[in-house]
Amino acid sequence: MLIDRSVKRESFIRGRSYCDFCHASLGALDLVPIASFVALGARCRYCHKKLSWQYPIVESLSGLLFALTLYHLASSGVINPGTLILYLFLICVFIVVSVIDFKFSLIPTSFVFLASLVVLFYNFFSMGSGAFVVSVVSAFGLAGFFILLILLTRGRGMGTGDVPLVFLIALILSWPLSLLSIFLSFFLGAVVSLLLLAVGKKRIGQTIPFGPFLATGAVISMFWGQTILVWYLGMV
């Protein structure tokens, strides 16, 4: 709902969900995650047009990441209602940003700015002064690095919408996990780009949305960043 309505500039709090084709209002049984899509045979109950696979993919991914979030916080022994709500909120933001950027090559910065403000307040009240300063410096440092990339490539190598997203990621992860997150993003982006070139889906000079890779790198670092760093430093 957030993904579709933000692109259409519709209200998030008013109006029932509706079919994109016939605009029929959807009932509760039409909106059960995954189950409704399967039960209806991937078609609208009213006009029988085929529904987008975006719906079950987003629903499945959301459920998986919510479960991983709870497992990660519980296993790390730091679970509390405030941290859990923050993590689930951030997962939602990353999913919304990734899907919109993937479909429209557009970062919805309003969600990113809101999440940055929430994380900034959370860090201020939950961190010591030294750690808070490090998180803010990390955010401005990595955002500045991306601004430099944009200037050097004249906007061809990176979109301006990636800058606030990098700022948010660095606020969440701080140093050095924020650097690991960016490295993973570039690595994953390079691997996918090479695969797309190999199968002929992209040509040299064409771009792909970077937001999904930034979000993926951030989520991996949130859940397994410390483990990856310990493994890497052990190899070095």
pLDDT 10s digits, 6-58: 777 777 777 788 888 888 888 888 888 889 989 988 888 889 889 888 889 99
Shared domain check, 228 and 131: yes
- Size (the chain), residues: 236
Shared domain check, 124 and 35: no
Shared domain check, 34 and 57: no
Shared domain check, 43 and 118: no
pLDDT mean over 65-78:
87
The alpha carbon torsion through 89, 93, 96, 100 (nearest 10 deg) reads 170
Query: Which residues form the domain of 66?
Result: 53-235
pLDDT 10s digits, 79-129: 788 889 999 999 999 999 999 988 888 888 889 999 999 999 999 988 888
Q: How far apart are CA 106 and CA 23, in angstroms?
A: 25
DSSP structure class, residue 174 = -
Angle at 91 between CA 86 and CA 94, to 5 degrees: 125
Q: Are 148 and 162 in contact (CB under 8 A)?
A: no
Can you list the alpha helix ranges (DSSP code H) found in the chain?
2-8, 35-39, 54-76, 81-104, 109-126, 129-153, 162-173, 177-198, 211-235
Shared domain check, 136 and 83: yes
pLDDT 10s digits, 139-153: 999 999 888 888 887
- Region label for 198, one of left (φ > 0), alpha (ψ between -120 and 50) or beta (otherwise): alpha
Shared domain check, 194 and 77: yes
Of 199, 11, 21, 185, the residue nearest 98 (C-alpha): 185
In a domain, 214, yes or no: yes
Shared domain check, 110 and 82: yes
